[in-house]
Amino acid sequence: MFSLDGKTALITGASSGIGRQQAIALADAGASVVVVGRREDALLETVQLINKQLAKSDRQASTHVLSWDLLDRDSISDLAAACAALAGGGIDILCNTAGVNHRQSVDDITFDSWDSTLNLNLAVPFFLARELIPYMQQQRWGKIINVASLQSRQAFPNGLAYGASKGGIAQVTRAMAEAWSEHGITCNAIAPGFFPTELTAPVFANPSQSDALAQRTAMGRNGEMQDLNGVTVFFASPASDYITGQILYVDGGFTAL
């Protein structure tokens, strides 16, 4: 039920953080992976980590690296075609994980920073998914996993543009599910709590701040990257075939308190 043998997953933002962890988890579950991001050297590090994980069980994964600027809207269809070609057919699982958070005060937000945030965090997930949908429709099976946020439901300081994008991605996830679920394609979102990633580096660089956030969770700790493995594989696998349009908070109970 949780096996991804024979499936191909595309993960954007796989050069670090959540995207990298998703790539490792999906490959460990049997999927071939196409890792996408701007930094080829970091993507190659992701592949090395995948191979290191699989070596523990004497397995290998089919991995493909694709360096791409996702902010180039005009090239989204080219990206989808390139990924499908690398996959030898089409993409079964799409993880829309690339994102940006400029952490600007409301007075410092510019049109450029607003546009880059909404483009990468909100527009790219929809338009990339739409390019990949025909193959999923043809086989009547596909999985789309978006990344929401604690800011999908509550405001944080210096997060107005980011929060707008993540509130939007929660609704886009539901709308994608409404549009495509009848074709056997599910669309769900993971809403992480505080995990040590590049986006949250300023938080974890301040021990008192990260400790205070940990104490605001029901579990009394912040997230560890492996905490994302189970939910990623679940949403990508047949185990979740009757679950769609949902936002699952993986936050140690932060939103429960």
Give the C-alpha separation, 42 to 35, whole Å: 10
* Strand residue runs (E) in 136-184: 142-147
Is 242 an annotated catalytic residue?
no
Q: In whole angstroms, how far apart are CA 167 and each of 2, 125, 153, 154, 231?
A: 29, 14, 7, 9, 20
In 3-state terms, what secondary structure has residue 218?
coil
Q: In whole angstroms, how far apart are CA 111 and each of 102, 117, 118, 212, 221?
A: 12, 10, 11, 33, 36
Q: In whole angstroms, how far apart are CA 6 and each of 3, 32, 35, 89, 90?
A: 9, 7, 17, 12, 12
Point out the catalytic residue in the list 135, 162, 242, 249.
162
Residue 80: both structure tokens together: 């989808």
Give the C-alpha separation, 107 to 4, whole Å: 46
Q: Characterize 161-182 residue by residue with b for buried, 16 or more Cβ atoms within 10 angstroms of its Cβ, and e for exposed.
A: bbbbbbbbbbebbbebbeebee
Asked if residue 235 lies in contact with residue 145, where contact means CB atoms within 8 angstroms, the answer is yes
Catalytic residues, which ones? 162
